[in-house]
Amino acid sequence: MGRKNRNRQRAHNGHSRGFFWQGWGAGYSEIIKENKLFEHYYTELKIVPEGEFEEFMEAMREPLPATIRITGYKSHAKEILHTLKEKYFKEVQDLEVDGQKIEAPQPLSWYPDELAWHTNLSRKILRKSPLLEKFHQFLVSETESGNISRQEAVSMIPPLLLKIEPQHKILDMCAAPGSKTAQLIEMLHSDMDVPFPEGFVIANDVDNKRCYLLVHQAKRLNSPCIMVVNHDASSIPRLHLEQDGKKDVLFYDRILCDVPCSGDGTMRKNIDVWKKWTTSNSLHLHGLQTRIAVRGVEQLAVGGRMVYSTCSLNPIEDEAVIAALLEKSEGALELADASADLPGLKYMPGITSWKVMTKEGQWFSDWSEVPTSRHTQIRPTMFPPTDPEKLANMKLERCMRILPHHQNTGGFFVAVLVKKAPMPWNRRYPKLFPSKVKKLGILYKTFANKAPFPSSDFSSVTVLHIDMKCSVCYSPPPPKKMKLFGFKEDPFVFLTEDDPIFPPIQAFYNLSPDFPKLNVLTRTHEGKKRHLYMVSKELRNVLLNNSERMKVINTGVKVWSRNTDGEQFGCAFRLAQEVGHMLFSLSPEMGSIVLRYLPDPQDLDAPQCPIDLCGWRGKTSIRAFVPRNERLHYLRMVGVEVFRDKQGKRKDGSTETQEGSTKDAAGLSQEADLLEQEGEETEQTGSESNTNDTEPVSSSCDGPTS
């Protein structure tokens, strides 16, 4: 396996096994959950209401409840919710383990449509009950299928506050590991009847390895409208789009700016923070957070929304950054009042007064008090504005700080910014291209040599030249040189309309004449094309006009895969499960097919949502091409529960009908084995070196365990 693929495999394994169980409250008893400096700092800042500090600290020491979110835009969401509520949650609420009654999972009151739930089940409890072990395996397999996401409750807030619509162009600046990105994609696809919405999500992360984890998260949702890029968020390049034959700057309608932070709001799950916490962490991060936020609002469209968020409670990383941003904007930005956007969410309003403390415990209330020796550590923007009128106009109380003891969550900070006008430095100094700068420089030298003006006029030309050099060419903040690092990715190669690969596909699948052939791409210049991918029209525009200024890790969703058996039927490409069922409805005599189940409203025991499987019809058989992680999901949809016992042996659960009769477990096992064999057929088709490909799977139908 090549180095690039090993890296991707590690990212995949880290997510599907270990990441899912992060924070389920196990194995940290040896770490003392105490930090006197932390308590002293937040007692002094008074971010916790009077009389609640002890309750706040007690909550911080308790394990964080596990929270799950059902993928809302998928047609199976209601079936998943029904299974959770009517099967697993009902079984859990009457269960006792070691004499302790299990607390039933509860929906998050502020999340729409009961699509997010939290539970206090720990790994230790799960191991003691076979019934709960089945629940665990259900969660893991459905997570891998993209139907459920394990996500911290407070992490779900920023995407909801962005108010995303299908036509929005969205930038996620610091996206890995990708749970919020997945939410953004879901909202973009809120209308399942529109497979290619006008909008798109560009998800960025500075860490090359974490980008592959981000790809794995996004890939589960099979969207043609997501692109993963690898840049420093504080200097992420400005992109261009071609519109009406001219290149325009790409401004985003929505930006998620979830910046790196000290993370003291995550103490309930990241236990190491207790012993590592110090005020210097926030002092070191404040500058980076401000630069990322500034770069974000520069690329935000006028009228657009940017959500700034951290998992820190520290005002140096929270209100101080927002205040600095508002002051720099000179009225171009304003804080939106989001108090009514999430009914039921409990939060504290932002504060307007705070102090700065060094790691030695020295306090400063104002920049004027900071000695010169500390100026490299403490900056003026870390303090609240001293002008009362300016401070009042900022409306910092519109920021939202979520405290752990109010709703049994982690700690979090979020602020919603609306852009009312271009940023002042963009407004004053329109950017000039180097060719124009060079001409102005030559013009200045001509003036200097010939001196055609009086000295007063000549001095004004000199000032113009200096202003041009400092502000026009290098509008603040100065852009950093883009660094390309990590693994070199395969190229993105768009097919032409007259590519010889299309005629057999066109004929076999009876493609519409207006099928967007130009949106089809591959990841190789040479040899046979193994897989064909598609992106939306808008993402194609971005890719074609920015190939030299951005590093793309992954984009597109697989539509066709080569199957050499198909050549005898006139087409060597079969539909891929990822997206083929969204585009085609066909029933040829031989070759690639779509197996479609339509719900019967009269049969309430049967799945009440459509099911589409891409498959292959041979001379004597029909087989479905279903990835391993999805096999368990579809078996479960038709009433077959497949799980592992503690010895690792697969067992087939049985389901009861309304009359109370039990289905034959042996028959279910045969069904599972059949689907397993069909799944193995998919592996024989091979795969390209591309992160969109289905990962190689074992011949077992068992779900992974942590």
Verify cis geometry, omega within 30 degrees of 0, for the bond prior to 491.
Answer: no
Question: Binning pLDDT at 50, 70 and 90, where does residue 651 land?
Answer: low
Whether the per-residue pLDDT at 441 is higher than 80: the answer is no
Whether the per-residue pLDDT at 661 is higher than 80: the answer is no
Alpha-helix runs per DSSP H in 338-454? 388-394, 404-407, 424-428, 434-450
The answer to whether 481 is a known ligand-binding residue is no
User: Average per-residue pLDDT in the chain?
Assistant: 78
pLDDT tens-digit profile of 71-121?
866 667 888 888 888 888 887 777 777 777 778 889 999 999 999 999 877
The answer to whether 336 is a known ligand-binding residue is no
Q: Given CA atoms 680, 508, 503, 559 in this order, what sign does their dihedral have?
A: negative
Whether the per-residue pLDDT at 478 is higher than 70: the answer is no
The answer to whether 477 is a known ligand-binding residue is no
Whether the per-residue pLDDT at 656 is higher than 60: the answer is no
Terminal Cα-to-Cα distance of the chain (whole angstroms): 24
Whether the per-residue pLDDT at 301 is higher than 60: the answer is yes
The answer to whether 272 is a known ligand-binding residue is no
Which of 323-337, 569-583, 656-670 shows the lowest mean pLDDT across its residues? Answer: 656-670
Which of 230-234, 539-543, 579-583 shows the lowest mean pLDDT across its residues? Answer: 579-583
Residues of the chain with pLDDT > 70, as a percent, come to 73
CATH value of 154-426 in 3.30.1370.30, 3.10.105.10, 3.40.50.150, 3.40.50.300: 3.40.50.150
pLDDT tens-digit profile of 498-513?
888 888 888 888 888 8
Residues of the chain with pLDDT > 90, as a percent, come to 45
Q: Domain coordinates of the chain in residue numbers?
A: 65-150, 154-426, 590-641
**Structure token digits, residue 195:** 């497979």
Task: For residues 603-629, give the mean pLDDT.
Answer: 73
**Structure token digits, residue 109:** 């009151």
pLDDT tens-digit profile of 304-337?
999 999 999 999 999 999 999 999 999 999 999 9
Using CA atoms, how far apart are residues 417 and 397, in angstroms rounded to an integer?
Answer: 13
Question: Binning pLDDT at 50, 70 and 90, where does residue 487 land?
Answer: low
Instruction: Please give the C-alpha separations between residue 674 and each of 134, 142, 168, 632, 699, in angstroms, as whole numbers.
Output: 22, 20, 43, 12, 12
Which of 20-24, 361-365, 641-645, 667-671 shows the lowest mean pLDDT across its residues? Answer: 667-671
The answer to whether 399 is a known ligand-binding residue is no
Q: Catalytic residue numbers?
A: 311
**Structure token digits, residue 441:** 């420089």
The answer to whether 455 is a known ligand-binding residue is no
Using CA atoms, how far apart are residues 622 and 591, in angstroms rounded to an integer?
Answer: 9
Sheet strands (E) in 480-621: 493-494, 520-522, 531-534, 552-555, 557-562, 573-575, 591-597, 611-617
Q: Given CA atoms 291, 292, 295, 301 in this order, what sign does their dihedral have?
A: negative
Whether the per-residue pLDDT at 295 is higher than 80: the answer is yes
The answer to whether 701 is a known ligand-binding residue is no
Task: For residues 300-307, give the mean pLDDT.
Answer: 97
The pTM for the full model equals 0.78
Q: Are 6 and 249 in contact (CB under 8 A)?
A: no
**112 phi, psi to nearest 5 deg:** -60, 145
pLDDT tens-digit profile of 47-81?
999 999 999 999 999 989 889 999 866 667 888 88
Model pLDDT, residue 468: 33
